[in-house]
Amino acid sequence: MDEEYDVIVLGTGLKECILSGLLSVDGLKVLHMDRNDYYGGDSTSLNLNQLWKRFRGEDKPPAHLGASRDYNVDMVPKFMMANGTLVRTLIHTDVTKYLSFKAVDGSYVFSKGKIYKVPATDMEALKSPLMGLFEKRRARNFFIYVQDYNEADPKTHQGLDLTRVTTRELIAKYGLSEDTVDFIGHALALHRDDRYLDEPALDTVKRMKLYAESLARFQGGSPYIYPLYGLGELPQGFARLSAVYGGTYMLNKPECKVEFDMEGKVCGVTSEGETAKCKKVVCDPSYLPNKVRKIGRVVRAIAIMSHPIPNTNESHSVQIILPQKQLGRRSDMYVFCCSYTHNVAPRGKFIAFVSAEAETDNPQSELKPGLDLLGSVDEIFYDIYDRYEPVNEPSLDNCFVSTSYDATTHFETTVTDVLNMYTMITGKTVDLSVDLSAASAAEEY
């Protein structure tokens, strides 16, 4: 281990693995270490025995749940936008060859106590029971504006500068009701709270276009895709990529201690009495706790069920977004369900997650609106973890720390953090203008 590396990456969470892959492809000499004996860090997938051990101590799971190895339960469950940044990153790095994807059946939104399919095209909007007749016309006009909008072509802007006009002002032009605004902002544009209303509208329009383009890719019921066997496949795919380009992996390395020189710059990492020298360190918050601050808590329920979520058209994989305003909260709640059709549970079993940012001292009870949508459950577990963000100045200490995973059930925020870190580390941006059809062979099978 006594060698010198350009970068040492600590932790094999998804963010760290993507960075390790990108940096290795760039020709940097990378050493990747993890204190655990498994890949994935906080974003790992557990089989049934591991799930039981983590949440129930030493008990054995009941036999009626099926074989342990048939379960792949994600600790940070998230879907991927079919045209989104993560898929582009997978194609850019060719990691798609290690993975198989399948489209997600449905995307739903909670409104006035019920769940509705998210209308994502002007035709669906016309059929949707979410809106009355006149509201549908107004929404359709807005959708058409967004579909036709092209940042580079001022003729499509209809005289509006979306870098200055706020989302609230743009929506007011179309006279949309609060409930319509709720589902557009949270279920299509995937904002986590209502701050976006007073920010420039360009970001929301781009997010809506991404949703529509992703939906069009598979002609399916949602814009999302998800890997067979769960998200634990992703860190391993990027780990393989890094190894192909000469990266070195070491799991089960206890007490990875980051070493600093007299100027406070990182100079190496020590584990088991050996020190590997390096110029830069990339890690999750648990490896450098004195360089991060707590920014909140995520509370998540994990339920094993024998049926799909009611009122979702028997969908075997589905996302439901519960906008904050519908619940009287400050941030959204998310329900995520997948099943044996994505090879994450035995036949006939479904795994549902309800996630939110904790806003009270009794976070479990906050999840009630989401849990109420699930129907009967066979088993339920609760996970609560703190979220951290870095407070250090990487230009001074050469330490690049990722932000903890949030409560959202999609990957856009995660990959934004990764790409920003990549730019800070290398001074370059990742070229994501890829041929998206390169991923389709693996996905449609």
Whether residue 272 is found in the same domain as residue 406: yes
Which residues lie closer than 8 Å to 255 by C-beta, 6 or more apart? 35, 270, 271, 272
Whether residue 12 is found in the same domain as residue 145: no
Q: What is the pLDDT of residues 352-400, one digit of tens each?
A: 999 999 999 999 999 999 999 999 999 999 999 999 999 999 999 999 9
Spatial separation of the C-alpha atoms in residues 97 and 441, rounded to whole Å: 9
Residue 110 lies in a domain: no
CATH for 203: 1.10.405.10
Which residues lie closer than 8 Å to 385 by C-beta, 6 or more apart? 42, 297, 298, 404
Whether residue 404 is found in the same domain as residue 351: no
Alpha-carbon distances of 238 from 21, 165, 178, 247, 413, rounded to whole Å:
5, 40, 42, 11, 18
- 361: tokens are 């001292």
Burial 84-104 (b: 16+ CB within 10 A, else e): bbbbbbbbbbebbebbbbbbb
- What residues make up the domain containing 59? 47-103+222-228+292-385
- 92: tokens are 């850019």
Residue 108 lies in a domain: no
Domain boundary (385, 419, 438) is at 385
Query: What pLDDT does residue 443 have?
Result: 42
- 53: tokens are 């051990």
Residue 189 lies in a domain: yes
Whether residue 199 is found in the same domain as residue 121: yes
Query: What pLDDT does residue 130 have?
Result: 87
Domain boundary (187, 215, 243) is at 215
Residues facing residue 321 across a β-bridge: 109, 334
- 373: tokens are 């949508």
Whether residue 362 is found in the same domain as residue 303: yes
Please name the residue that has the structure tokens 């929506």: 171
Spatial separation of the C-alpha atoms in residues 16 and 44, rounded to whole Å: 12
Q: In terms of C-beta density within 10 A (0-12 exposed, 13-18 middle, 19 or more buried), how is residue 112 classed?
A: exposed
Residue 177 lies in a domain: yes
Q: What is the 3-state secondary structure of 117-149? A: ECCCCHHHHHHCCCCCHHHHHHHHHHHHHHHHC
Whether residue 275 is found in the same domain as residue 297: no
Residue 433 lies in a domain: no
Whether residue 277 is found in the same domain as residue 404: yes
Whether residue 204 is found in the same domain as residue 337: no
Query: What pLDDT does residue 438 have?
Result: 58
Cβ atoms < 10 Å from Cβ of 243: 16
8 A C-beta contact, residue 179 and residue 136: no
Going by the DSSP 8-state scheme, the letter that residue 17 receives in this structure is H
Domain boundary (215, 248, 272) is at 215
Amino acid (1-letter code) at residue 204:
T
Whether residue 56 is found in the same domain as residue 145: no
Whether residue 328 is found in the same domain as residue 365: yes
Cβ atoms < 10 Å from Cβ of 64: 7
Total domains, the chain: 3
Query: What pLDDT does residue 430 have?
Result: 86
Residue 443 lies in a domain: no
Residues facing residue 283 across a β-bridge: 10, 401
Query: What pLDDT does residue 383 have?
Result: 95
Whether residue 253 is found in the same domain as residue 306: no
Whether residue 36 is found in the same domain as residue 177: no
Residue 204 lies in a domain: yes
CATH for 21: 3.50.50.60
CATH for 308: 3.30.519.10
Please name the residue that has the structure tokens 């909140």: 296
Low-confidence ranges of the chain (pLDDT < 70): 1-2, 120-122, 219-220, 437-445
